[in-house]
């Protein structure tokens, strides 16, 4: 990523990295105004809400397009209003619908307006090349299990020009930034996973893109009424396909039946599984509530045979409308 070792701080996960970036920026860098979006991961949304409840920040949430794209013109307009020291926190790719943010463009806007920039890149590190010498980001969050590293380890990149204090207090590990004995197995596993992923990035990408296109095409063929949430073309995160089934086809049992068939997918963010609050992302892009949405995600380990199996299984579960 073209960061220096001194700019990387290991954390227990992406959630901790997001908390550290946002809370430290507000506490130590005089941030009083945050620009973000309602489709961020809860690790960002709930942290911002917590900061707002303590009356320390004012938040502007950007308008979203029908695929969840942020309004760059509005971002520029708000930045121009000079509402105090500003932090822009926008995710690089949405974990539910795959919509991506133009990280380069946002970084330039932030630089022009002297704003700090945090990006939750949990979905994109190791899947897309990110060159931190070319793109000016102040904070970037990542989590190893999104690229086949171990669970329980992540990192926060903090640009070397930025000086913040630790969020937790204790020993002097991680150059005084994150106390506690380091998770060596996790750190080594993360580094190895990142190395492997970066070495084979384009080959894995091609394989996964083919799987996603294959599923999309097969679904369109057997279910003409099918729709997709977010960007499903080259502009969208290639590891995710969010499928919107017509209500009469996709009952609440669909997820359950897929699970029984041995197919692991989710009704929203996997972090929210076990709750049935519905997807905050779909709500915020005004996706139809008459439809049932399921997120399928793919990795280098998935195969074309598995896509066929998924489609065959869906055909048995989903009664196709005869017109
Ligand atoms: N941000 C995004 C975009 C994610 O997809 C996730 C996890 O799914 C997280 C943050 C949280 O990461 P972790 O589970 O490592 O805390």
Q: What is the pLDDT of residue 269?
A: 61
What ligand 1 atom has the least distance to the C-alpha of 94? 3
**Predicted pLDDT at 276:** 55
Exposure string of 76-89, with b = 16+ CB inside 10 Å and e = fewer, is eebbeeeeebbbbb
Q: Are strands 86-89 and 139-143 parallel, antiparallel or unpaired?
A: unpaired
97-129: b (≥16 Cβ within 10 Å) or e? bbbbbebeebbebbeebebbbbbbbbbbbbbbe
Residue 255 has what pLDDT? 87
**Of 237, 244, 225, 236, which Cα lies nearest the Cα of 287?**
244
CA distance 63 to 286: 12
Q: Where are the beta strands (DSSP E) in the chain?
A: 8-11, 33-36, 58-61, 86-89, 116-120, 139-143, 154-158, 227-229, 240-246, 291-297
| pTM of full prediction above 0.85 | yes
Short-list 61, 56, 57, CA closest to 35: 61
Pocket test for ligand 1, best of 99, 141, 239, 271 (most atoms within 8 A of CB): 271
Angstrom distance (rounded) from CA 83 to CA 34: 9
Pocket of ligand 1, beta carbon within 6 A? 13-15, 41, 43, 91, 95, 120, 122-123, 143, 154, 271
Q: State in Å: Cα 316 to ligand 1 middle.
A: 33
Residue with the smallest CA separation from ligand 1 atom 9 is: 14
Report which DSSP code applies to 9: E
- Quote the tokens at residue 228: 């997709």
Helical pair 304-317 and 253-260, crossing angle rounded to 10 deg:
130
pLDDT truncated to tens, each residue of the chain (323 aa)? 999 999 999 999 999 999 999 999 999 999 999 999 999 999 999 999 999 998 889 999 999 999 999 999 999 999 999 999 999 999 999 999 999 999 999 999 999 999 999 999 999 999 999 999 999 999 999 999 999 999 999 999 999 999 999 999 999 999 999 999 999 999 999 999 999 999 999 999 999 999 999 999 999 998 988 999 999 888 899 999 999 988 766 667 888 899 999 999 988 665 555 555 689 999 999 777 778 899 999 999 999 999 999 999 999 886 655 44
Pick from 306, 304, 323, 320: which is nearest to 245 by CA? 320
So what's the pLDDT on residue 275?
Answer: 53
Give the pLDDT score at 194. 98
The tokens of 167 are what?
A: 């969020």
């Amino acid at each position: 990523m073209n960061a220096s070792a001194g700019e990387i701080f290991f954390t227990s996960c992406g959630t901790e990295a997001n908390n550290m970036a946002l809370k430290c920026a507000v506490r130590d860098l005089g941030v009083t105004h945050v620009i973000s979006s309602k489709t961020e991961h809860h690790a960002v949304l709930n942290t911002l809400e917590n900061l707002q409840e303590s009356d320390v920040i004012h938040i502007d949430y950007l308008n979203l397009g029908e695929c969840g794209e942020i309004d760059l013109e509005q971002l520029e307009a708000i930045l121009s209003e000079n509402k105090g020291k500003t932090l822009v926190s926008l995710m690089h790719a949405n974990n539910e619908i795959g919509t991506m943010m133009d990280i380069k463009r946002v970084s330039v806007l932030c630089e022009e307006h002297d704003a700090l920039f945090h990006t939750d890149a949990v979905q994109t590190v190791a899947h897309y090349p990110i060159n931190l010498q070319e793109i000016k980001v102040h904070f970037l969050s990542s989590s190893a299990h999104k690229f086949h590293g171990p669970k329980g380890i992540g990192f926060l990149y903090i640009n070397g020009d930025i000086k913040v204090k630790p969020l937790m207090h204790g020993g002097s590990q991680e150059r005084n930034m994150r106390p506690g004995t380091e998770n060596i197995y996790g750190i080594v596993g993360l580094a190895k996973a990142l190395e492997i992923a970066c070495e084979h990035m384009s080959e894995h990408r091609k394989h996964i893109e083919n799987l996603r296109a294959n599923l999309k095409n097969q679904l369109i063929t057997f279910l003409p009424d099918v729709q997709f949430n977010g960007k499903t073309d080259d502009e969208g995160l290639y590891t995710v396909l969010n499928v919107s089934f017509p209500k009469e086809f996709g009952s609440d049992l669909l997820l359950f039946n897929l699970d029984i068939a041995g197919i692991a997918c989710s009704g929203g963010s996997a972090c929210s599984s076990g709750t049935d609050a519905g997807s905050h992302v779909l709500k915020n892009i005004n996706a139809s509530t008459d439809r049932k949405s399921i997120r399928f995600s793919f990795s280098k380990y998935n195969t074309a045979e598995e896509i066929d199996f998924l489609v065959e299984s869906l055909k048995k579960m989903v009664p196709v409308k005869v017109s």
